[in-house]
Structure 1
Amino acid sequence: MASLTRTLPASWYRSSPLYQLERRAVFIKAWYLLGPVTRFMRVGEKVEYEIAQVKVTACRMSGKPRDIKVFDENTGMDFKSYITETGLLFSTISDDAPSFDEFFPNLKPLIGTVDFTRLPYRRSIKYEGNFNWKTMVDGYQECLHCQYTHPSFSVYYPPTFYTVYNHENFSQHVADPKKADDGLFLYFFPNCTLNVYGGGMSSFRVCPTEKPGVTRMEFDYYHIETGDKFEEYFKFVRQVAMEDYELCEKAQENLERGVYAEGILNPVKESGVAHYQQRVLDLVCKQRETEVRFDAGDARESGSDSSEMIVAPQLVDPASS
């Protein structure tokens, strides 16, 4: 597959058949951050999630801090899950996902720098936005917009030296490479984030709905402080989140109206965007090729016209445009 130098086409942000292909190619085969073990403190209390139309439930089964079961709410079937040494719970949504270490090679040393069991859970909120899931990830994976869209955040983390280090299925964002320990900002492919700074931690999941232009945002907040100190932190991070929300809705409007079709990615300033979009492109194209071969084989066995069996959308590699 050629290297992605252009953005994915706008059609990939508004096509229902394309999202269903993404669901099979990307979401069914991934791992997801559900939260630190401090999110699941009460024995028997169910914490519910919905990822790519799969209902996921996590529940502490006993007083042991790591005795957390993750299962399909509809079928009761257990999902593969993994708790890191420092207390982060990850889960799959199908048996098609590889092992945790295979999906996230080299992640453990990075998240091993923070003891997540020391961050008490404080609050969760969720709401829908009129944008595709990739529209929000595009914004998180680059910080060209930060100085103008997030003036308060830029005071603490100026984008002058901002760098993104991309790995197999995650990216690390560093505000200043000379101060690598100044906060931990991670993106987990395809749709989860983790941000540790200011005495607290926030994480969010960008959850696609069945409508390609509608996404549900789910936020979890943790902090060592309560009362006014937590509320001050919460107000700050919520301001940043709403600034991104408004930017994404406006960007999606341009994608829907045909104002924007596709563009060139800056190889330095937008390396995070190029990295994750390349992963989406590669996985979707691979899934498409597999399904075409499978459908063609079924057609030959049944004596049908194979062209009638192929219903997936025609994909175009933007790098070849």
Structure 2
Amino acid sequence: MDSPSRTLPASWFCSPALYQLERRAVFLKSWHFLGPVTRFQDRKKPVIYEISQVTLIVENSSPESDGINSDGIIVYAEDKAKIKYHLTPSGLLFSTLSLDAPSFEEYFVGLEVLTNTVDFTKLPHRRSISYSGRFNWKTMIDGFQECLHCQYTHPTFSKYYPPTFYSVTNHSTFSQHIADPSKTSDGLFLYFFPICTLNVYGGGMSSFRTCPGTEPGWSRMEFDYYHSGTEAEFEEYFKFVRQVALEDFELCEKAQQGLEGGVYGEGVLNPVKENGVLFYQRRVRECVYRQFELEKKVKEEEREKEAGGGGMQGLGEGKNGAVAVQ
């Protein structure tokens, strides 16, 4: 009988050394969702992002008279470091933080087959907000990747999208959430590993990024909202989705307190109802272990060149499967 799937230990949400390794292993080698092309239609105002201490700038230099246009969209790093960016045929813009990431096609295998069935240029950008929270980025992604908590944490959301129908299908680096199979044009939630989402529900569209801070116990939430209705209709939609976001925010801060206070150490994941959490946490673990072994090998080779041999202390499994970075 297979052993139960366990969560990442609490140390992975609290350790500064692990976060720095995670930054090199996950963030600098991933593609990050920046938004649909309608986010970048103000030709006079560049859109600025900061993800894992890398600042990206998006500009649209196409003529104003062209309306919704993606031909002039460019992405570059503020420090002039080389990056990659990609615009899907459906109008979604992605970028890397370095050249260490693979090609878009290699990273997001099969994503465009799904996204190309939707025209993401129809809903105009209406509002963006940003604020910080006292929780690790994974604490928020844990909540997004399952809906077991929805019925008691999000009563308004559950009224329209009952957890009974909720399912998550995981791919290599993204997940598709379906709240109700009967609502093909509503209740679609996409998660792009590691920190980005795109959500179509409630008559509009929104996305968020959980940007890691300079220490493991805090993050910055960035939200973008899209809607084609009147001002009153948009405000009604905004109120609805903001209620869900604020409920998640409070839940994450309390969960992080438990992680840092030793109340919670490690748990078991339901392989069906929490398959989305299992998927992304397993990928984080694999990326971190791979990066550790890579850096360990490099250091060993450097020591051999300098002193003719030698080694280094390794990445050990501590109590409850915690990783020790030495």
Contact 2:9 2:322 in 1 (8 A): no
Q: Give structure 1 stretches of 5+ with no counterpart.
A: none
Task: Choose from 276, 291, 305 the match for 2:295.
Answer: 291
Q: Which amino acid aligns with 1:91?
A: S
Counterpart code for 1:128: S
Q: 1:181 to 1:281 in 2, by over 3 A?
A: same
**Cα RMSD between the aligned structures?**
2.2
Q: CA deviation at 1:181?
A: 4.3
CA drift at 1:162: 1.1
Compute the displacement of 1:107 (Å): 0.9
Task: Report the Cα distance in structure 2 between the residues aligned to 1:113 and 1:202, rounded to whole angstroms.
Answer: 18
Q: Distance in 2 between matches of 1:57 and 1:303?
A: 44
The equivalent of 2:32 in structure 1 is 32
The verdict on how the C-alpha distance between 1:32 and 1:4 changes in structure 2, with shifts beyond 3 A counting, is farther
Alignment partner of 2:76 out of 66, 71, 74: 71
Distance 1:257 1:304 in 2: 45
2:121 aligned counterpart, secondary structure = helix
Correspondence 1:65-214 to 2 at 5 A: 65-66=69-70, 67-75=72-80, 77=81, 79-214=83-218
Distance 1:6 1:199 in 2: 37
Q: Distance in 1 between matches of 2:16 and 2:183?
A: 43
The answer on whether the counterparts of 2:4 and 2:268 sit within 8 Å (CA) in structure 1 is no
After superposition, the Cα gap between the structure-2 partners of 1:317 and 1:60, relative to the gap in structure 1 and judged at 3 Å, is farther
Q: Does the CA contact (< 8 Å) of 1:8 and 1:318 recur in 2?
A: no
Residues 5, 319 of structure 1: 8 Å contact kept: no
Q: Go from structure 1 to structure 2 and tell me whether the alpha carbon gap of 1:46 and 1:261 turns closer, same or farther (over 3 Å shift).
A: same
Counterpart position of 2:235: 231
Counterpart AA for 1:244: D
Alignment partners' CA distance in 2, 1:130 and 1:270: 24
Residue 201 of structure 1 and its aligned partner are, at CA, apart by 0.6
**Shift, 1:320, TM fit:** 10
Indicate how the Cα distance of structure 1 residues 270 and 145 shifts in structure 2: closer, same or farther if over 3 A, else same: same
Write the distance in 2 (CA, Å) between the matches of 1:266 and 1:277.
Answer: 13
State how far apart, in whole Å, the 2-side matches of 1:253 and 1:88 are: 35
Contact 2:146 2:276 in 1 (8 A): yes
Evaluate the alpha carbon distance shift between residue 126 and residue 250 of structure 1 in structure 2; reply closer, same or farther with a 3 A threshold.
same
In the alignment, the residues of structure 2 paired with residue 31 and residue 303 of structure 1 have an alpha-carbon distance, to the nearest angstrom, of 39
Letter in 1 for 2:77: D
* Structure-1 residue corresponding to 2:8: 8
Which segment is superposed worse, 143-152 or 61-70? Answer: 61-70
1:33-75 superposed Cα distances (whole Å, 9 cap, x missing partner): 1111111112242100000100010000222612211001122
1:263 counterpart = 2:267: yes
Per-residue deviation, 1:232 = 0.4
Rounded Cα–Cα distance in structure 1 between residues aligned with 2:148 and 2:223 = 23
Inter-CA distance 69–316: structure 2 relative to 1 (3 Å threshold): farther
Percent of aligned positions with the same letter in both sequences? Answer: 60
1:173 offset after TM fit, Å? 0.6
Deviation for aligned residue 1:101: 1.1
Aligned residue pairs, count = 317
Q: Which runs of at least 4 in structure 1 moved beyond 4 Å after TM superposition?
A: 178-181, 304-307, 315-321
Name the structure 1 match of 2:60. 60
SS of corresponding position for 1:85: coil
